[in-house]
Structure 1
Amino acid sequence: MSEPGVAALVEVLDSLVGLAPWRVRLGHGNFVTADFGRVVVPPGESGERGEWHLWIYGAAWRIDSARDVVAGSEDTREVMSAAVGGLEGERLLGVRLRTPSLGLDLDFGGVVLRVFPVTTRVEDHWMLFTPSGEVFVAGPGSRWRSGDASRIG
């Protein structure tokens, strides 16, 4: 995998702006996945996903409205699931990449999903799979890389 400058990461994240996520899910523990764009079945996989697929897994997260903290990644499963499900179909108005942590602010207008990397040497923070078959992996720490999604492991 290559390690290009952070500008390339910002550019790919900006490709999500204007799209509305579907199948936004709370996964194992506090993992969050969201699909954007058309439905695809990636080569070598049996299930479908979005042509853009975001997976938040090695980071804490929180959903904030203008007036309240809606939910956080350590809340009860019921609270987390309801908050994450509320993002379904909401158009993404903006993405901010926070450096050097590679945290994210995903602005859906009424709410913002904030991603907070919490490890510096152990886990990746999040992955973004793209329509071209490339995956962008943030973490651990302030490092990131990209490469062919079929070779990630």
Structure 2
Amino acid sequence: MLSFFNKNKLTKGLSKLQTVQHIMPTPDVLDFFGKLSDAYRESLITTREMAAIEAQKEILLTEIENKYDLYHTIFQRVFDERQSAVNKSFEIIDKGLLEGDRELIGLGMQSLSKIVSSSPFANMQELSRCLESDRIIEI
């Protein structure tokens, strides 16, 4: 039964080819279908390449988002720590002012001066190397 359908399709295909032969010579028709087949193969290859590029793009975007989240968390913690230290220095200064204790005020001012004069970005290259390495960093 299967061979009947294949013969039937083949016969129909040949009759269509003979019909087209009046418009276009057979070698040209075969060349056209060969080129059409090549174009289809190229289309499939291009589609696969585009899918691979899209997957690569998604991976890179995920990596960028993860790095952003990591940097955001690190800087948030660094500045939270600095804010806490600044607040503590002002508490010491306020206490010194309330008590009239110059030594306490001086100590608070000294502490505040150290915090403000130091940059959280001083060791940025070292931080970047740590973040780019494969080491596990606890935050």
Report the TM range for the smaller structure's normalisation: under 0.3
Higher share of residues assigned strand: 1
Tell which has more relative contact order, 1 or 2 (C-alpha 8 A, sep 6+): 1
Higher share of residues assigned helix: 2
- TM-score, normalised relative to structure 1: 0.17
- TM-score, normalised relative to structure 2: 0.19
**Larger Cα Rg: Structure 1 or Structure 2?**
2
